[in-house]
Structure 1
Amino acid sequence: MLNISRIKIKESIPFSGAKSLVMTLPLRESQKRVRILLSIMLVFFIILFVPWTQNIRSKGYVTALRPDQRPQTIHSIIAGRIEKWYVNEGAFVHKGDTILTISEIKDEYFDSLLLPRTQLQVQAKASSAKSYEEKVQALQNQIEALQRNNILKLQQAENKLRMSELKVQSDSIKFQQAKVNFDIGKQQLERWEALYQEGIRSLTDLESRRLKFQDVQAKLIAAENQYLSSQNELITARIDLDAIDNEFKDKLAKAESEMYTAMSARFDAEATVTKLENQYSNYEARTGFRHILAPQDGYLAKSIQVGIGETIKEGDAILNIVPSNADLAVEMYVQPVDLPLIKVGNKVRFIFDGWPAIVFSGWPQISNGTFGGVVTAIDQFAGPNNQYRVLVVEDPEEEPWPEMLRIGSGADGIALLNDVPVWYEIWRQLNGFPADYYTQEQKDAIEKEKK
């Protein structure tokens, strides 16, 4: 106050009995502070024995449980030129719906009658293979006929050879007989000459004997000539026998050579037919690849290739599709030190982006706005970030996840572990010890085993 007025308030109104003054007296203020401090200490002491749920927090995002339900990119199998779009971004498509059409950009597929002409080539080559097959069959019949004919000719030649051998034997006997007759005739002629010298026989008888001897000598020469002729016939029969066998082998080799050539041509034609059929199937399948179809039910996302007339290569990405009715899961990552604490079936609480929540990590019972999950899979190896991936699905025993939850949304996961007193958790955090690995039931079982 500036004390400008001459009327003094302090002289007319006493302040010693003011209630506010009494409340601020030093003695009473110290007593209040002691009570507040004692109350805080009591509350803190009680809190030390309140159950605290150990947990592991980790960031993650919403994904699909099955790989085929996750967002995927639709690629073009063939190179082409975009001709027409049938759907818009964000549209819902069913499996098999046509998304866009592309045309060929390679000159080898420009022919509008490519499939019919390829089919004609297949039929022509198949007919060629059929004709070669018939030729092979005809040559096989020819070879069989040659074999039968050769058997008959061999039998005929063997019979002729046998006849020649018998004739040689017969002529040999006749020749020996002529030789004996020649020796006898010679001896008789010598005796007749002796008798003629002695005068016992006349000259006429001697000349008659000489004529008979010449006849015997002529028969000897004829028998020898016949014998030599029979030997020549035997040699000729043997030569004919060998010639028949050689001729058969020559004809057989020629026929087999033609047969194998026809078989080779048939196999080549059949291989060409198979190649053309494969080419026809490829052309037919390629025709279907000109229409880009939806691989499954879902919503079309961002288009990577746009416009009309834009060319794309084999395997180029065209647009993304998000499958509908996917089984949602959360993909979260944990540090290697926390991996032994996570196992399949553990409970997890989630805070999804876009859904407000009030979270008390140590007391999940009083948290609000969180959603429950169950660990369903844990990777057996660490990822590039040296963390292990954990998949968590919706807990069927709790409130279902929001219907508007979408794949890719962020999620803050709280993996729930054992229930311990608050003082134990504080002591563990101050000493840097990991959370309890065993559950209380496992601890009780271990204690029983020790006892």
Structure 2
Amino acid sequence: MLNISHNRLNQKVDITGYKAGLKVFHKRHYKHFNRFLAAFSFIVLIILFLPWTQNISGDGFLTTLKPDQRPQTIQSPIPGRIEKWYVREGDFVKAGDTILHISEVKSEYFDPNLVARTGQQIKAKEMAVTSYQEKVKALGTQIQAVSKERGLKLEQARNKLVQSRLKVQSDSIDLEAAKTNILIAQRQFDRTTTLEKEGLKAVTDVEEKRLKLQETQAKLISQENKLLTSKNEVINAQVEITRIEAEYADKIAKARSDRFTAQSNQFDSEAQVTKLENEYTNYEMRNNLMYIRAPQNGFINKALQSGIGETFKEGDRLVGIMPSDYEMAVETFVEPIDLPLIHLGEKIRIQFDGWPAIIFSGWPNVSFGTFGGKVVAIETFISDNGKYRILVAPDKDEAPWPKDLRVGSGAFTMALLEDVPIWFELWRQINGFPPNYYQPVNGKSDVAKK
């Protein structure tokens, strides 16, 4: 056996002389064995040409078809402290049912009459707005009255100016008349003086003419003074018009400034009223947030914050809820190399955890315990596990899925592709090639495979 000894028995002993040797080395044994090999080879050859359905398998889990039907957690938008629970884990709640009551933890909201007092502040500010509105109206009336008074004063001053100018004209005429009178009186005096020297007039006549000349000169000087006085009255009338315009412009500007100030205070009060109304609404909404309510019909899964008096921050998860009305779907994952083979409407076979199944991946028609589905969504970005997520909904053309399925349980999926011979599938698997690529019509999977 190990060829340790140099004495070789197979050369010295003939085992065909024994009965056992005759049975083993009989020629009929080779004949039956050769027939068996031929039959086996023929069967294998036939099997190699049998059809085989290519498929892509993946592991996934049960989920819901719509995002709003999936398990969710209820958060509080404000920080608070738990005061009372109204439900237990496993209870069924309807949309709007109270789940728990919380209280405030911030000092600025401790006042229980905060909403009422904010309403009183709003009323006070609204009264202030009304007061400013009345003040604006009163100042507007005052501006109109001052403007009307200014018009009357200016008209009076302009009339006085016209009178002064007319008086100047009158005094100018009187001055010209006085100048004419003095010329006449001067000629009469000269003529009378000449006649007195010739002896035709008496000295008394000369003295009378001199007296009259002096009176005429006095009147001329008086008339010049009147003219200057009239001109001064014209200037005074013009100055008065300017003064009135400046005085009433200052009064109107001051009244308008007061009105603008009142309007500014009015607008500021209106802004404060709006701000207080916003705070009032926020306080009312915040009071409503003291009661955490169910967003939809469902079952309470788990209380994430427990106990009484426990505090939490805004956005913290308080309790988990599972919607009662939902449409089942399977979330599965495929390799990136197989993603181009998956299209919307692709036929999928699914095996659910807890439901026994006998699966022949190449012959789906003889598989037992699997259920049909269709691809309804394909993720366009790779997941954290290095695969692409596929969402599969029930196939309405096949048997319905079991009613006792629960969201989160596992599932094994197979996407059915082309039918190929077994020898081709073996050759593809040995070489590590992907399944046959094909493009369905209009981007949708063709239900009838080749």
TM-score higher than 0.5: yes
**Letter in structure 1 aligned against 2:327:** D
Aligned to 1:234: 234
Superposition map of 1:211-230 within 5 A:
211-230=211-230
| Cα distance in 2 between the residues matched to 1:218 and 1:197 | 27
Residues 418, 440 of structure 1: 8 Å contact kept: no
Is 2:416 the partner of 1:416? yes
| Cα distance in 2 between the residues matched to 1:87 and 1:29 | 81
| Cα distance in 1 between the residues matched to 2:156 and 2:362 | 114
Counterpart secondary structure, 1:413: strand
| Cα distance in 2 between the residues matched to 1:155 and 1:48 | 123
Is 2:329 the partner of 1:309? no
Distance 1:190 1:149, change over 3 A: same
> What do residues 134-163 of structure 1 show as CA deviations (whole Å, max 9, x unaligned)?
111111122222222222322222222122
Distance 1:85 1:23, change over 3 A: farther
Shift of 1:265: 0.5
Shift of 1:25: 9.2
Superposition map of 1:200-211 within 5 A:
200-211=200-211
Superposition map of 1:45-444 within 5 A:
45-438=45-438
Shift of 1:309: 0.9
> What do residues 249-294 of structure 1 show as CA deviations (whole Å, max 9, x unaligned)?
1011100110011011001100110110000001000000000001
Which is further off, 287-296 or 31-40?
31-40
**Letter in structure 1 aligned against 2:129:** A
| Cα distance in 1 between the residues matched to 2:139 and 2:98 | 56
| Cα distance in 1 between the residues matched to 2:32 and 2:245 | 138
| Cα distance in 1 between the residues matched to 2:293 and 2:113 | 24
| Cα distance in 1 between the residues matched to 2:297 and 2:38 | 65
Aligned to 2:447: none
| Cα distance in 1 between the residues matched to 2:136 and 2:47 | 101
| Cα distance in 1 between the residues matched to 2:209 and 2:439 | 148
| Cα distance in 1 between the residues matched to 2:231 and 2:177 | 17
Distance 1:25 1:136, change over 3 A: same
Aligned to 1:446: none
| Cα distance in 1 between the residues matched to 2:247 and 2:260 | 20
**Letter in structure 2 aligned against 1:263:** Q
Q: TM-score, normalised by structure 1?
A: 0.89
Shift of 1:402: 1.2
| Cα distance in 2 between the residues matched to 1:86 and 1:31 | 86
Aligned to 2:16: none
Counterpart secondary structure, 1:61: strand
Aligned to 1:10: none
Shift of 1:441: 8.4
**Letter in structure 2 aligned against 1:385:** N
**Letter in structure 1 aligned against 2:316:** D
**Letter in structure 2 aligned against 1:427:** W
Distance 1:383 1:195, change over 3 A: farther
| Cα distance in 2 between the residues matched to 1:250 and 1:434 | 95
Residues 299, 322 of structure 1: 8 Å contact kept: yes
| Cα distance in 2 between the residues matched to 1:29 and 1:320 | 74
Shift of 1:33: 3.6
| Cα distance in 1 between the residues matched to 2:63 and 2:248 | 82
| Cα distance in 2 between the residues matched to 1:355 and 1:222 | 138
Structure 2 spans left out of the alignment, 5+ residues: 1-21, 443-450
Shift of 1:23: 10
Counterpart secondary structure, 1:196: helix
**Letter in structure 2 aligned against 1:136:** V
| Cα distance in 2 between the residues matched to 1:262 and 1:379 | 63
Counterpart secondary structure, 1:146: helix
**Letter in structure 2 aligned against 1:306:** S
Distance 1:429 1:440, change over 3 A: farther
Counterpart secondary structure, 1:267: helix
**Letter in structure 1 aligned against 2:351:** I
Shift of 1:95: 0.6
Aligned to 2:4: none
Structure 1 spans left out of the alignment, 5+ residues: 1-21, 443-451
Distance 1:190 1:23, change over 3 A: farther
Distance 1:252 1:413, change over 3 A: same
Counterpart secondary structure, 1:168: helix
Residues 418, 439 of structure 1: 8 Å contact kept: no
Q: TM-score, normalised by structure 2?
A: 0.89
| Cα distance in 1 between the residues matched to 2:161 and 2:209 | 41
| Cα distance in 1 between the residues matched to 2:64 and 2:260 | 62
> What do residues 146-194 of structure 1 show as CA deviations (whole Å, max 9, x unaligned)?
2222223222222221221122122112112212222222232222222
Residues 350, 373 of structure 1: 8 Å contact kept: yes
Shift of 1:114: 1.4
| Cα distance in 1 between the residues matched to 2:280 and 2:366 | 69
> What do residues 170-219 of structure 1 show as CA deviations (whole Å, max 9, x unaligned)?
21121122122222222322222222223221121112212222221222
Shift of 1:334: 1.5
In angstroms, what is the RMSD of aligned CA positions? 2.0
Which is further off, 147-156 or 174-183?
147-156
| Cα distance in 2 between the residues matched to 1:285 and 1:440 | 54
Which is further off, 231-240 or 63-72?
63-72
> What do residues 67-94 of structure 1 show as CA deviations (whole Å, max 9, x unaligned)?
1111111111111111110000111111
